[in-house]
Each structure stands twice: as structure tokens, then as C-alpha cells.
A and B are shown apart, each in its own frame.
Chain A
Amino acid sequence: MLNISVFNLPPIGKLLNPYSGFFQNGLVNKFDEIELPGIKDEVNLQIDSLLIPHIYAKNDEDLYYVQGYMHAFHRLWQMEFQIMSTSGRLSEIFGERALSIDRASRRKGLLYAAKNTLEVSKKDLETLKYIQAYTNGINDYILSCDIQNLPIEYKLLNYKPEKWTILKSFLLMEQMSDMLSRRNQDIEDTYLLEILGKEEYDFLFPEIHQEVDPIIPRNTNFQFTPKKLTRKIDTIYPKISINETLKKPDPYNGSNNFAISGKRTKNGNPILGSQPDLSLNLPSIWYAVHLNSPTVNTMGVSLPGAPGVIIGFNDSIAWGETNATRDVVDFYKIKFKDNKRKEYLFDGKWLKTEKIIEKFKVKNSNPFYDTIIFTHHGPITYDRNFLGNNDKVNLAMRWIAHDASIEYKTFFKLNRAKNISDIKEALSYFDGPAQNFAYATTEGDIGMTIAGKFPIKWKEQGKFLLDGSNRDHEWSGYIPFEHALTMINPKRNYVSSANQHPSDKSYPYYTYSHNYEYYRGRRLNERLETILNATIEDAKSIQNDNFNYTAYEILPVLLEKIDTINFDDNKKSYFDKLKKWDYFSNTKSIEASIFETWHYFLRKKIWDEFDTIKFDYRRPSNYNTFYLMKNFPELKYYDIVSTEKTENLSDIINLSFELMKDSIDNWKKSNSNDIAWKNYKNTTIRHLLRINDFSVSNINIGGNRNILNAASKYHGPSWRMIVELDPKGTKAWGIYPGGQSGNPGNINYSLMIKDWAVGKYHKLLFNNISEKIEDQMLYTKKFKK
């Protein structure tokens, strides 16, 4: 999230004071500090050996109150820090260094969006009541938390927690949207379109390939009449390019999920698997919890800062999400009447703008003020004051996340859902960030719904910059929930998703994203297709599958073109190893290290033409690169621009092999002789402040991006969950890379990482009656009002 170094100097005296400094953060599990002053009725709180709280409350307000209290008890600093980041307030902690990050956060309209949601939520009293109770729980913990027990990060950075508010819980959802739904290439691709021309642009950046296995299978017959476009197609785009665009969320934020019908499982119970792949951070993004009240009995992972369970199960159903990826961000070029920027052109009329002056408190410095102008499209993100090429460009951002949307309602309902129709109802409230929801029920049903608020677009609308003065460039309303891509109990008896294309052309709406995934989805479906009597072990092996589909498809082609005549022993051994490789990027695989390095240099050499253009924004996808290599033996891109010789495909394959060898030799010199994949890749889970000593590196895990076990250097499976929908009682297993405690001084902080890396799971203790699992608890206490 942040790449700024943390300290000038921490307050040494405060930090070293034995009575309240860092040493107090070493004292493990201070359960006796737990007080629940705000409960209305009896609450039975149990904490198991993984520090997962099991909360048994007599009413829902108490339930969410205790959830908030426990979130703060274990993760207070992380919760607040995420909100400071989302609301553009990091300069208050870090000083001027963080100002540009803060300005970007506010210009993206995250705070504006959360305030919109807060306004609308006031009409939904039940949801609001739960969030209020949750907020009270957090605040009661903050009040009771003395200086000794403040998380270590506060002590290092020398500040104190503030009160939590409902708005902050909404901001957390905006942060999720920012992470999951803000990726777009509008500005970048407008430039590429201009310099490449339409035909070449489409050749290098196609929207879909034949081989894609979409989430909703090809040639599905959709039984509805699509809503008509109310805007005319107009493909004259503004031509603009800018030096620097907003930092984008990680392109590999993805995931996989699947549900297998009882007809394909060994004991006849449906199985659901869910594995969200996100940035690997400590404290972990997830916090496991078991919530029990007269209206609900659910378990799974929650987000510290948000009430309810986000990915999980209850007595009757289980559900999990992957990111739907679809493009829901567009930029509109705005034409102002004059320098005062009070009016802008739209549909032949001058409309009024709204000015908001944002104040940034800056540590050790004067406050900074930034004027953000709002149009009916949204906030002007790029202008003369921010990344806008000195007033040449004014771009307003239109993003679904700006609209009010109460995702919490979906999760409150999902946590209580009993069957397919309850799930459908819950999902109908979900307005984003759009997700592929997989679900299964103890009644034996399975399903997949791509839920979220999607604008209706003409083909290629919003792929490039749009004209903010042209009515036809506005969105044509939204796809109704009844037309959402959904599949329940399909003939193939499983559903799955892994961020690939949602459907083929048979779906009557435009569903573009530049970032759909090409490999994991196919591997997932192939695995599911071949397993006929699925067990929990099968589901585990799918989530931990290290098969490198990219290598499987391209390596034979590359090796064929390698000229081995002048090879020394070293190169020969690399070559022979690759030839015999089974394509599994396991921890010990040397081939994976060789292949990935080769792949890196190959891409670099093929697309060196992009080095020479003014803005090196993006290059063709891996999939398309290999597609072109296989199908177009002669392409101008194979030539290396900087040499006089005209290279061909086999020249660059051989050259990049050479470069790979040198690079690996260098790596060996500066690291170790063992280029086993886990060493070479060095998966690292970083503390949010990038403090090395609070991070864990060189984790013993295989996989990579584009592999189901998507653990790359800083990124990977942030939660693995498998649920068996047994009508006699749901059974579930789960693990995440971290620990419930966010305190680096607690052994639990990174406790689960080792098991997570090698594909082990923990059985999740789940029961309707507190007495049944009581004897397995580390701590149990009945709190009275």
C-alpha cells in the first residue's frame, strides 16, 4: 500500500520506557484486559488456540459490538491506519513525504464516496443499527486501552488512536473498491490507440481469445431481453496524453473460487472452495471470527473495520468471492468556460461546478490546501494542480465506487441466508466492488453470480478517454440484477471463477476489462473436470496447485527454437532441465526459476519497441505475446531496435536464453548457489509499514501469478477456505498467512504462515451450541450486563 520509509526517528524515551514502551507489546494475549461495558444482555465469549473469537450473543447489537471490540483488541492500529490511508490523511503521521499519496486518495473521491454511502445508509435503519453497535465496540476498546497496551506502531510513530465512526467503516469498503475495481487503462490506451492505430492496437491488445473458458460457459442461452442503449455510439475520443497517471492497484489482485455439486463429490455433500489472492501483508487483511446470535450462526473471515463475515459459511450455506475485474472507471475530458473553472460544457450548456477545498494537516509543517472541483461526472482528478500537464488537461473521474452502496446489507443477509433464494436476495443489494460469488447450500444447490453495479455501455465505451461535454458518452443506466450473469446447478455440476472473462459474446452486454486472466481459470476448470468423486483433499490440492500453465503452453515452442551447438555445460544443463520439466513450479523446482527469468527477458526483448515511445504505459499481455509468437513467425516486433541487425523470432529466443543464464549466474554470486524456486522467488509478507523486522521473508512456498497457488513475491492467497455442506453440520477448514493478533510481539502474529505455505489447513471450530466446543478453548468467559 505504501512505499515510504517509516521513521525519521521514533520517540526513543517513550519507546524504551519499560512501564509503557515496546516491552509491554511483548506480553502475550492479555485476555484479562477484555471488558465489554456496552453489552445489553449476556455474552459468552470464547477464544480458541488460533485466537479466533467465538461470540455467542443474545441479540445482534451485542454480537456486532463484541466483533468490533475484538477487531480493535487485536488489530486496532491496522484498522485505523487503513482508514487514514483511504481518507488521505497519512501526512498527519508521516509529514510531507506522504502528501502526494494523500492528494491522490482525495482526488480519487474515496471520502466523497463514503459520505455518499453514509447519507443513503441513514434510510436503512437496521443496517445502520448494526454498524453503530460495531462502532461502539471499537470505541469502548479504544477508551479502555491504556498507553501500555497501545499497538507498537503507535509507539514507533508517536501518535494515538482516534474515535471510530460509522463513516470509517464505509471508508473501509471504499478501500476495498480502490483495491479491486479501480484498475483501468483509459488514459494509457488512448495514447496507445493514437500512436499504434486501431488495427495494430487491436492486434496487440485484443479483448478476448478463443481459448478463454469464461466463468459462465460459452454459448449460454440468456432468457431475457436486454435493456436498450439510450446513448448513441460515438467513437470520437479526446486525444490526450499525460506524463504520469495515478498509481494503480496491483494487477494480480485476483482469486479463485469454486463449488462442486454433491453429484461430483465422494460423500454426496457439496464442497465450496474460496481463495482470494491479494497483497500479502502483516497484519493480515483478514480476521477470522465466529458469530452466533438467535438470528445468525456464521463463521469465516471478516475485515478489521467492517462488521459481519465477508467470506465464510453458516449452518446452511457457504460462499466465497473473486474479483469480477470489469471496467467500471471512466475518465471524461472537461472543458471549462474560463480560468475560474466555475462552469463546464455539457450537451451544449454551461453547467456549474462545485468546489471543495481539501485541507491536509501535515506533521511538522503548515497545512496544505487542495481545491478539488466536482462535475456531475465526478471529481476532477487530473487538472492544473495535479498531474494535469499544466492545465492542458482536465479529467473527471466516473467510478461506480463513487455511488452510494451499502455492501454491508449484502453480507448481513448472506450471513443469515438459508437457501438459494436468500442468497439471491442478499446479492441483489451488492453494488460493488463487483465480485464473482460462488455458493453452495446444504440443500445440495450450487451457484455462481457476478454481482455488482455495472453500467450499460456501447462497445468500447470507456475503453478510452470520453468526452465530458457529449451526452452520448455518458453511461446508459445500469444492468438490472435480473440480467446479472448467474448460473445455478449447471449440468457440469460445478461452478468456478478465477478472474477470467465473465462470458462470451452470447451475453448481450459489453463486459470489457483489460485485465482478465487467461491461465488460472482454464487450469481450475480442467482440474474440476477430471475429479469425479471429489473429497476435501482434492479441494485442498486444487487450491495449492502449482501447475505452470504458461510454461506448459509456451516452453516447448521456445525450446524447439534453441540452438544448442555452442552450449557450454552450464547452459546445456539448464536446457536439459527445462526439457524434462513437468511444469510444476514447486518450492524446489530449479526449472521454474530458469523459465521465469527467461520469460522476463524474452518479453523485454520482444516489446523493446515500447521503450522508444514517449510513454511506456503498458505492453501486451503474456497470453497475447505467446499467441503472437505461436501464430505469427514473422513480426516486426521481433527485431531489436537498438541493433543494426534485423533479428527474427529465434534470434530473440536464443538471445534471451543467454541473458537468462547471465542473470542467474549473477544471482548465484550475490545470493546462493541454490536457485530453487522458493529462494529465487522469495515470497515475502510485508508489514504495512514495510518494516523488515515485522515482515516475514523467504517463505517456503511454490506457485506464482497465473498459477492457482498464486503466491508471487509480495502477493498471493490471502485466505484459503474449504467448506463441506453436510446437512448434519457444516464442516470447514481454513488458513491465512498471518495470525489473529496484529502485534509483532505476539507469537500468534505470524503463526499460521508456515502451515499456509505448505498447504496445511486448520479445522475451523464451528458449532451452534457454545458448550460443544468449549473444552477446546484457550479462554472462555460469560459477560453479564
Chain B
Amino acid sequence: MNFLLRVFIIFILSYFFGIDNHWWLIVIYPIIIGLVFIDNLLSHFISGFLGVFLAWLTLMLQLDVTTDSIISQKIANILFLNNNVFLITISSSIGGILGGIGSTLGQSIRKIFVKDINQDPYID
């Protein structure tokens, strides 16, 4: 439940409150989630990845449909990817990796600074 909730929150934040001036600033949302929720690092990575990946994927597919794929096909060609769906997948994955790293980072910071009483000794 914890996992799905994290994915959902990151998705909602990334989808509705995009950050346009610095692309990597999107990492903030997964960091916050990483700080708040307790889980192992792998699980955090995957939830961070999925949250941003799905948000970007949805956003881009929506934009692509409303714009008849004109611009995405052209940019795909310029970047030698030849296929706009491939371009969208790669772009979303970049967001996803950023999300994964963010969440892991958040959780790690938490572990350094917050002494958790409830921490399960068998994880990590």
C-alpha cells in the first residue's frame, strides 16, 4: 500500500505541477516522498521511477495526440530515433530514472539524519 501510495503521489505532483525552467528540478517530488515514507531503497527507486515515468508518459502521449505527432516525429528523426513512440519512451525513462534517484536519495538522507525507532533490522 505504501508503495502504490508513493507512486500515486509522485504521479499526481509531477503530472499537475510540472516544473518548466529546469528539467531536473522534477527530482524534488520524489526526494520529498523519499524523506517522508519508510521503505527499502530498491522499493523507493522503483516507486520514484514509476511515478515520474508514468506522469511524463501520460503527459507526452496526451500532447502527442493533440498535436498529431508532427513535432515529436521531427524531433525523433533529428535525434536519430526515427520513431516518436520510442522518443517518448526514452524521454519518460529519463524522467523515471531521475524520479528513482530522487526517492532513493530522499530515503538515504532520512536514514542519515533521522534515527528511526521502527526500523526493521533485516532491511538494509
Contact = CB atoms under 8 A, between A and B. Distances in A.
Given A692-B77, A693-B74, A17 B20 contact: yes
Contact of A156 (B24, B26, B78, B94): B78
Contacts of A21: 23, 91
Nearest to A16: B91
Contacts of B12: none
A744 interface: yes
A147 B66 contact: no
B63 interface: yes
Contacts of A156: 78
Contacts of B64: 23, 26
A28 B67 contact: yes
Interface string A1-40: 0000000001011111111111111111000000000000
Given A26-B63, A691-B78, A693-B77, A19 B70 contact: no
Given A26-B63, A152-B71, A20 B77 contact: no
Nearest to B68: A747
A15 B75 contact: yes
Contacts of B20: 17, 19-20, 146-148
The number of chain A residues touching the other chain, given as a range, is 20 to 34
A27 B70 CA distance: 10
Given A13-B23, A23-B72, A25-B71, A18 B77 contact: no
Nearest to B69: A26
Contact of B18 (A18, A28, A152): A18
A26 B72 CA distance: 8
A694 interface: yes
B77 A27 contact: no
Interface residues of B, number: 29
A24 B18 CA distance: 13
Interface string B64-90: 101110111111011100000001001
B77 A14 contact: no
B77 A22 contact: no
A745 interface: yes
Interface in A111-160: 146-148, 152, 156
A429 B26 CA distance: 57
B29 interface: no
A18 B56 contact: yes
Given A17-B23, A156-B78, A693-B74, A27 B59 contact: no
Nearest to A694: B74
Nearest to A18: B59
A746 B70 CA distance: 8
B36 interface: no
B118 interface: no
Contacts of A18: 18, 56, 59-60, 63, 91, 95
Contacts of A19: 18-20, 23, 59
Q: What is the interface of chain A mostly: helix, strand, loop, or mixed?
A: helix
B65 to A, nearest CB: 10
Nearest to A26: B67
Contacts, number: 81
B74 A744 contact: yes
Q: What is the interface of chain B mostly: helix, strand, loop, or mixed?
A: helix
Interface centre among B26, B67, B73 (most CB of A within 10 A): B67
B15 to A, nearest CB: 10
A23 B74 contact: no
A427 B90 CA distance: 58
Contacts of B66: 26-27
Interface string A683-702: 00000000111100000000
A23 B23 contact: no
Given A18-B56, A691-B78, A26 B94 contact: no
Nearest to A146: B20
A656 B18 CA distance: 65
A27 to B, nearest CB: 6
A26 B70 contact: yes
Contacts of A693: 73-75, 77-78
Interface centre among B23, B24, B66, B87 (most CB of A within 10 A): B23
A417 to B, nearest CB: 41
B70 A16 contact: no
Given A16-B91, A23-B63, A747 B78 contact: no
A692 B79 CA distance: 12
Contacts of A17: 20, 23, 26
A13 B78 contact: no
B100 to A, nearest CB: 16
B30 to A, nearest CB: 16
Nearest to B19: A19
Interface in A739-753: 744-747
Contact of B23 (A16, A24, A28): A16
A22 B21 contact: no
Contacts of B59: 18-19, 23
Contacts of A28: 67
Given A19-B20, A21-B23, A747 B70 contact: yes
Interface in A660-685: none
A746 to B, nearest CB: 8
Contacts of B24: 13
Contact of A16 (B18, B77, B94): B94
Nearest to A22: B75
Interface in B73-124: 73-75, 77-79, 87, 90-91, 94-95
Nearest to B24: A13
Nearest to A744: B74
Interface string B31-46: 0000000000000000
B96 to A, nearest CB: 12
Contacts of A148: 20
A146 B20 CA distance: 9
A754 B99 CA distance: 45
A246 B63 CA distance: 46
A21 B64 CA distance: 13
Contacts of B87: 16
B19 A13 contact: no
B71 A744 contact: yes
A1 B71 CA distance: 24
7 contacts: A18-B91, A20-B21, A26-B66, A147-B21, A693-B74, A745-B70, A746-B70
Given A18-B59, A22-B75, A746-B70, 7 more contacts: A22-B72, A23-B59, A23-B71, A26-B67, A27-B63, A147-B20, A745-B67
The 7 closest A-B CB pairs, nearest first, are: A26-B67, A745-B71, A19-B18, A20-B20, A17-B23, A26-B71, A16-B91
Interface of A: 10, 12-28, 146-148, 152, 156, 691-694, 744-747
